[in-house]
Amino acid sequence: MAVDNQFTEKPKIPTARILLWLGIASIVMLFAGLTSGYIVRQAEGNWKFFEIPPVFYVSSAIILLSSVTMHLAVRAIKKDQLQDLKRFLIITLALGLAFVFTQFLGWNELVRNGVYFADRSTPSGSFFFVISGLHLAHIAFGLLGLIITSAKSIRERYHSGDYLGISLCATYWHFLDGLWIYLFVFLAIFR
């Protein structure tokens, strides 16, 4: 009796990729809710308008550059250029850490300018800190992914035929980069 292999011959989407996209969808919904709440609360009045510290522009440039280096890492593994892969993953990790550092510098500057997380007179600062802080929490997971993929790349666990971990890390990292740019532009427009 012949076995019908029509279902087993089709390429499967890895479960990890499906879970990543479900996670990304939930993050999108979280930030959509926060930015919607921001607009609604701003319209109610009692809102302190403030300038975004220049260091946040620097952090935005850093995270955009990290997307470029992550793209170069993916391109390197597709060509089995393992030394380039290691170099670009480590540079991406360093840029991610630099982004975190500049975010903290920006928060410190906000506090020096009288914008606080828990200001009872106006919620504008609270929204800014919560939105940027939650993004930073998600960046922490991206940095963890970069550490893991960098360590595996140093041990040469990836090659052009098997680099799912790098691909997933890159997808998440590019998403976080795009999310920050959206949030930064949003916060700059609706200050």
130-177 tens-digit pLDDT? 999 999 999 999 999 999 999 999 999 999 999 999 999 999 999 999
Separation CA 59–CA 96 (nearest Å): 9
CATH class of 51-189: mainly alpha
Calpha distance 160→139 (Å, rounded): 27
**Displacement of CA 78 from its chain's centroid (Å):** 23
Record the pTM: 0.90
Cβ contact 48:121 at 8 Å: yes
pLDDT tens column, 46-81 = 888 889 999 999 999 999 999 999 999 999 999 999
Residue with the two structure tokens 């990292």? 173
The domains of the chain are located at: 51-189
Beta bridge partners of 163: none
